[in-house]
Structure 1
Amino acid sequence: MNPKGIARSVGVLYILGTVAGILSVVFSGATMGSADVLMKVSTNVDQVKLGTLFILIMGISLALVPVIIYPIVKKYNEALALGYVVFRGALEPFTYMVTAIWLLLAGLSKENANTASSDGADLQSMSHLLSNSGEQIHSITMIIFSLGALMFYYLLYQSKLIPEWLSGWGFVASMIYLATGVWAWFGTISNLALLPLGLQEMVMAVWFILKGFNPTVK
């Protein structure tokens, strides 16, 4: 695949992954953020299934990005390019898979609790455990995502494959995202802190599709 085709593919995958991520929050975000996960799952089974499907689509789409772009960026810094593949192509999708499995286990746990317990004590304890674990999984995903993004935007800035203002924007936004992920490990976060990177990625995706890489790239 030539550089122009690679750039377009990366742009499309970013948009697909972002749209799938938004839809996953629409369908399962309320469940993951609920203090009573099991009850939410039991009353929104179809929504949880759709949310899980979109999480998987997001994970697969974003995992393909570093694989496709690797032949281009490795020319500038092979170690960072490989690190990007590991973090964004392997570790990050793994956390998405864990999130999907977590949602499915929540549903199974609800069924087991209904058949195994006549009072609400065990169910409440299980719900509390799943709620806490869901928050920790989310913060870990944010940290891994941010580390991979920092490698990627440093590579783009160093290589000048895209305008410096665009890669610089991504690098700074990734730092904010990383700090937010670390903070999420200890407490609640504001989704406003995630907007700079989300907006940057959409601008970059459109740039890849319409402009591609710097014309000097062969």
Structure 2
Amino acid sequence: MTSTRKTALVAGTFYLITFIASIPAALLFLDPILNNANYIVSAGSDTRVVWGCLLDVVNALACIGTAVTLFPVVKRQNEALALGFVTSRMLEAAVIMIGVVSLLAVVTLRQDFAGHPGTDTATLVTTGRALVAVRDWTFLLGPGLMPALNALLLGTLMYRSRLVPRIIPAMGLIGAPLLLAAATATLFGLTDQTSAWSAIAALPVAAWELSLGVWMVVKGFRPSPILAPTVPTGTGRPLTPAA
């Protein structure tokens, strides 16, 4: 297995991990704390919530992994865009981690104060709702918005380099403006983040990331000029084996 094939395999695996980790976390494990306004004073499902937070941490780390793994390859196409992709992925991961910390804070407050004598229940509920609201905003500005920027940066690099079939990055480049529009509409209260419009707008970018991950795992990179061995400065010709 060549080094570029290994790079594609690792990067594709990281992309698939983001799906494997984020979808169960959002739809299954974190449901009790996200959809129960009084969770902080309820019986709670702390173990379930902590598992969901752990999956979000895995998602954040996998986000960084996709960019760091691909950087040595895609920088040969355009180093500025490649560095921008790494930065945007790291920012996305950081925002996700802020949401994780806010939910873990709710769990800690519930365990330490809920039901104890002298606890101001109303204040505790307000604090819990505020922390969940922080997580909701991080979900919009992190996984809800940053994938559009990621698609524009990496999609451009993949489209120009032809490392994968152009139809794959084309989905990301088409979907990025739709996702940006949906996130902006949610930011200004015009639509809800869970609305049908928001879901439809997110589909092309989700399809781009999933298809990119699957292609790199199964097929690897296609032949491309940027994968050609580099020529050391001053030689003027490729290196050849010694006779």
TM-score, normalised by the number of residues in structure 2:
0.80
How far does residue 39 in structure 1 lie from its aligned partner after superposition?
4.3
- In the other structure, the counterpart of 1:204 is 212
8 Å CA contact retained: 2:32, 2:45: no
**3-state SS of the aligned residue for 2:163?**
coil
**3-state SS of the aligned residue for 2:145?**
helix
Larger fraction in helix: 1
How far does residue 18 in structure 1 lie from its aligned partner after superposition?
0.8
Deviations 1:102-156 (A, max 9, x none): 1110112223442375453212322332232222111111223322232111111
How far does residue 192 in structure 1 lie from its aligned partner after superposition?
3.7
Unaligned runs of 5+ in 1: none
Choose from 169, 174, 177 the match for 2:176: 174
- In the other structure, the counterpart of 2:107 is 107
Q: Aligned ranges for residues 68-217 of structure 1 at < 5 Å?
A: 68-88=69-89, 90-114=90-114, 115=116, 117-141=118-142, 142-187=144-189, 188-189=192-193, 190=195, 191-216=199-224, 217=227
- In the other structure, the counterpart of 1:20 is 21
Identity within the alignment, %: 26
Larger Rg: 2
Q: Which has the higher contact order (CA 8 A, sep 6+)?
A: 1
Deviations 1:30-49 (A, max 9, x none): 42344334246x51101111
Change (3 A) 1:21 1:206: same
Deviations 1:133-187 (A, max 9, x none): 2221111112233222321111111222212211111122222222222233233
Find the aligned partners of 1:32 and 1:63 in 2 and give their Cα distance. 25
Runs of 4+ in 1 over 6 A off after TM superposition: none
Q: What is the total number of aligned residue pairs between the two structures?
A: 216
Unaligned runs of 5+ in 2: 229-243
**3-state SS of the aligned residue for 1:150?**
helix
Once the two structures are overlaid, the 10-residue window that deviates more, 17-26 or 184-193, is 184-193
* Cα-Cα RMSD: 2.1
Find the aligned partners of 1:35 and 1:140 in 2 and give their Cα distance. 22
8 Å CA contact retained: 1:36, 1:124: yes
TM-score, normalised by the number of residues in structure 1:
0.89
